[in-house]
Amino acid sequence: MTIYQHYRPEEKEFIDQVLNWKHTVEADYAPKLTDFLDPREQEIVNNIIGSNHEVKVNLFGGTSFAERKRALIFPEYFQCEEQDFNISLYEVIYPKKFITIEHPQVLGSLMSTGLKRGKFGDILFQDERIQFFVTQEIEEYLSIQIESIGRATVSLKKLPLINAIQLTDSWVELSVISSSLRLDTVISAVFNISRQKSQSLIQHGLVKVNWTSIENSAFECRESDIISVRGFGRTKLIGIEGKTKKDKWKITAGKQK
């Protein structure tokens, strides 16, 4: 029995990386800090390291509700503190009266710096305020690079983490029946759209499962998957509860706009 059989084939590369981190911490007897990880990657790290006694892991994304988090993998002697995660918070200063900035524009500007997505944490919006988290090691480079977002001339203001916009998790739970666990049928059931429509969304690259674009309608969904459909929002498969008498799947899903 291998560790890989519990995961999808496309996750093997990341699993190898986690195992390598674990072995490095064991060998060097020193902590290892990762870039920001999406929730699926966090789950894999927790599964592989979480129950280990000699090597431990903590996750932090700048605030308690953060979706993207850095993992600190450390030997048992190490006392983990929030400052060990090396996360900085920035607020975007821009002419709010004259212009609107949206999430894709902020992410696009951050990515245009040539840095990997893992260097950036959550992007937070509240009314006209915009903030984002970054790894401390790139903040100096970033503050020089970001002069505009969309059509807006902007500046960045560094803030203490305690000043982060406070957001709440807004999953609404619902029960649905799906004829199979195929991606197209699950999307159809949760978002109440036709299967033809869900297949079109998948084929046009508008669907992600666990932050990875999936263009195969027959892709099989599993419990705890997070499915993002552009224009419709997100759903999380909280539980796959078995089959009905008519051989259909009962699914408990969380829905988020």
Mean pLDDT (whole number) for 14-39? 95
**Which of 139-143, 181-185, 234-238 reaches the highest mean pLDDT?**
181-185
Percent with pLDDT over 70 in the chain: 97
What are residue 49's phi and psi, to 5 degrees? -110, -25
- At 76-131, the pLDDT tens digits run 899 999 999 999 999 999 998 888 898 889 999 999 999 999 999 999 998 899 99
d(Cα 94, Cα 162) in Å, to the nearest integer? 22
Mean pLDDT (whole number) for 209-219? 92
Q: Decide if 164 contacts 132 (C-beta within 8 A).
A: no
Q: What is the pLDDT of residue 155?
A: 94
Q: What is the pLDDT of residue 166?
A: 87
Nearest to residue 76, comparing CAs of 57, 90, 92? 57
Domains of the chain: 3-84 (3.30.1370.160), 87-163 (3.30.70.330), 172-256 (3.10.290.10)
Whether 257 shows a pLDDT value over 60: the answer reads: no
- At 234-255, the pLDDT tens digits run 899 999 999 999 999 999 999 8
d(Cα 167, Cα 179) in Å, to the nearest integer? 35
**What number of residues does the chain have?**
257
pLDDT band at 52 (very low <50, low <70, confident <90, very high): low
